[in-house]
Chain A
Amino acid sequence: MITLDNVTIAYGTGARAVVAVQGFTLAVPEGEAVGLVGESGSGKSTVLRAVAGLIPYASGEITLAGSRVDRRRTTAQRKMSQMVFQDPYGSLHPNQTVDQILAQPVAIHRLDRGEARIVQALAEVGLGPEHRYRYPHQLSGGQRQRVAIARALILEPRILLLDEPTSALDVSVQAEILNLLARLRRDHGLTLLMVSHDLAVIAHLCERIGVMTSGRLVEITTATAMANNQVTHDYTRELLRSNAGFDRSSAYSTVPTPP
């Protein structure tokens, strides 16, 4: 469904170009969920943005459902992949009601039955009709993220791109959103590509996990292997250790010693 073949992504051009992602190759078959983990600046969100068509890529090839895509896309190509961002406080227009937010993609893509679609999308993400005419500031963080998910789903995409969808949320709300995403994926047969710094969150939703550091995919493994500590790269090991909490016996070894 999604293939990236030797993709290189750079910000800026010429001598001042910064290569954010280099030689990235990954294939996600239809219906699979793949997660990318890595520290900030490792390029994981950049990969997602390039797949979404928000930024161009310098070389290599990205194909979605068999057709090569670039930054310029047809409406149908745009409809196929939709993205949910990290911060539901920043990704919803503060001066638009939920109704207006959901009506916009319907209008842009000239879809029929707009009214029915909005009602259905709200119901699917567990929001009631009472939320329809509210502004984002009248909703909680979890409800806002539900609106962001509804906005993505209203176009009936086949691919959902998730950029840290739960890291701005409390633990209890995170569980609700993760359950919602798992259910929507099952019901719609969605293909997921997700980015997070939380290994447990990624492993909960995704079958395969890719580990990135400094713009490269250094390891791709399964959630099961990750849980059993069967990893090869040093950075993945460090990630696993940090994920387990603070361990006094090993933590001090991470501190650089002054000369």
Chain B
Amino acid sequence: MSDPLLTVRNLSVTYPGDDGDVRAVRNVSFTLGRERLGIVGESGSGKSTTGRAIMGLVGHPGRIEADELRLGDTDLRGLSERGFRALRGRRLAMVLQDPKYSLDPVMSVGQQIAETHRTHLRSNKRDARRAALEMLEAVHIRDPERVYTMYPHQVSGGMGQRVMIAMMLIAGPDILIADEPTSALDVTVQTQVLAIMDELVRSRGMGLLLVSHNLHLVSSFCDRVLVMYAGQVLETCAAGKLSEARHPYTRGLLAALPRLGDRRTELPQLQRDPAWMADLA
């Protein structure tokens, strides 16, 4: 932890709007080491935008400002598109929610994985193919040779997401940002995909940033959790201790979750305090 993989200090993302600027992310600070860090929050809280800002994917007219945004020794502030292209896949990787939309529909999944290898490691066709097959095996796909030739519409959601993970990890990035990686999957497949991601991230000593709205999932999967609301980090806590969270927002969210074995006639509804909107930093 002495040498964080990613340092974010006072990150803000602003979009110009009709009624003045909309600050989607406000003064977010955190560091990511070789650990699993979760970001939870409701829609519109800025959790995905934070992930996209790190990837350099906030497009015009959005503006990114930060006192520090550093990947190892590389400053990401003001990095050109060309600079980001060299980093994406090689050092930063991102898995999105739905494999149906994030895979190229007209290219076999194997070729897509090999393409990443060829682009970043400047390998020849044969080496890239072999690496892709090894990667498919690493994500526990039973028959890599067969799956290599399949197209995205021929694979199931869980398999598609494993293909995405294979593609993202093939060039050995330092950091994996997973934005709701299992929300489109069945609960039983969710566990499987998370276990595979966990295994690979740990064995390769990577940092994982897991963005999710699912409190249960994040608190049971991650080491630390950032709770976001209205673009700010309200609270940071050890994931296992989310149930002891202090902020009324976090507590309100946890209370509002229905629980098996606890049939309450009425679920406590979250009372939003306008004070939560105020600038923290």
Query: What bracket does the count of chain B residues touching chain A fall in?
Result: 35 or more
Lowest 5 CB-CB distances: which A-B pairs, in order? A227-B261, A245-B220, A204-B258, A175-B256, A172-B270
Of B198, B219, B258, most buried by chain A (CB within 10 Å of CB) is B258
Known: A171-B42, A199-B260. A254 touches B268 (CB 8 A): no
Q: Is B119 an interface residue (CB 8 A)?
A: no
Chain A residues within CB distance 8 Å of chain B:
39-40, 141, 170-172, 174-176, 178-179, 182, 197, 199-201, 203-204, 223-224, 226-228, 235, 238-248, 251-252, 254-259
Is the pair A178, B258 in contact by a Cβ cutoff of 8 Å?
Answer: yes
> Quick check: is B80 within 8 A (CB to CB) of the other chain?
no
Residues on A with C-beta less than 8 A from B142 are 256, 258-259
Q: 12 new A-B pairs (CB below 8 Å) besides A175-B267, A200-B257?
A: A39-B189, A141-B43, A171-B213, A175-B270, A179-B266, A179-B267, A179-B269, A199-B260, A238-B188, A245-B220, A248-B198, A257-B140
Interface centre among A171, A201, A243 (most CB of B within 10 A): A171
B237 touches A (CB below 8 Å)? no
Q: By the criterion CB–CB under 8 Å, are A170 and B213 in contact?
A: yes
Residues of B near A182 (CB, < 8 A) are 265-266
Chain A to chain B contacts (Cβ below 8 Å), 6 pairs: A39-B189, A203-B258, A204-B258, A243-B187, A251-B192, A258-B141
Which of B157, B186, B187 has most chain A Cβ within 10 Å? B187
Is B215 in contact with chain A by the CB < 8 A criterion? Answer: yes
A245 to B265: give the CA distance in the assembly, Å: 24
Residues in B lying within 8 Å of A, measured CB to CB: 42-43, 137, 140-142, 157, 186-192, 194-196, 198-199, 213, 215-217, 219-221, 252-253, 256-270
For the complex, give the distance between the alpha carbons of A174 and B257 in Å: 8
Known interface pairs A172-B252, A182-B266. Does A254 touch B191 (Cβ–Cβ under 8 Å)?
yes
Contacting residues, chain A, for B220 (C-beta < 8 A): 244-247
In contact, B187 and A172 (Cβ under 8 angstroms)? no
Residues of A within 8 A of B213 (CB): 170-171
A204 lies within 8 A of B140 (CB)? no
Q: Which of B42, B221, B262 contacts A246 (CB 8 A)?
A: B221
- Cα A201 to Cα B194 with chains together (Å): 22
Query: Out of A223, A239, A243, A252, which one reaches B199, CB within 8 Å?
Result: A252
> Are A242 and B270 closer than 8 Å at their CB atoms?
no
- Whether B260 and A245, one on each chain, are in contact in the complex, defined by CB atoms closer than 8 angstroms, is no
By a CB distance below 8 angstroms, the chain B residues around A259 are: 142
| B36 CB, min distance to chain A CBs, angstroms | 10
- B106–chain A nearest beta-carbon distance, Å: 25
Contact of B221 among A201, A228, A240, A245 (CB under 8 A): A245
Residue in B261, B262, B268 with the greatest tally of chain A CB atoms within 10 Å: B261
B260:A178 contact, CB within 8 angstroms: no
Report yes or no: B191 in contact with A258, Cβ–Cβ below 8 A.
no
Are B263 and A203 touching (Cβ within 8 A)? yes
Alpha-carbon gap, A243 to B258, bound state (A): 12
- How many whole Å from A214's CB to the nearest CB in chain B? 13
Q: Are B256 and A245 in contact (CB under 8 A)?
A: no
B261 touches A228 (CB 8 A): yes
Does the CB pair B187–A239 fall under 8 Å?
Answer: yes
Min CB–CB distance B186 → chain A (angstroms): 4
A40 and B100 CA atoms in complex are apart in Å by: 15
Question: Once bound together, how far apart are the Cα atoms of A171 and B251, in whole Å?
Answer: 12
Residues on A with beta carbons closer than 8 Å to the beta carbon of B188:
39, 235, 238-239, 242, 254
User: What A residues does B199 contact at CB under 8 A?
Assistant: 252, 255
CB closest chain-B residue, reference A176: B269
Q: Considering the chains assembled together, what is the distance between the CA atoms of A179 and B256 in angstroms? A: 10
Residues on B with C-beta less than 8 A from A258 are 137, 140-142
Q: Please determine whether A170 and B258 come into contact, CB atoms closer than 8 angstroms.
A: no
Indicate if the CB atoms of A254 and B256 lie closer than 8 Å: no
Give B130 Cβ to nearest chain A Cβ, in Å: 16
How near does chain B come to A131, taking the closest CB pair, in angstroms? 19
In the bound complex, what is the Cα–Cα distance between A60 and B98 (angstroms)? 37
Residues in B with CB closer than 8 Å to A247 are: 220
How far apart are the CA atoms of A204 and B259 in the complex, in Å?
7
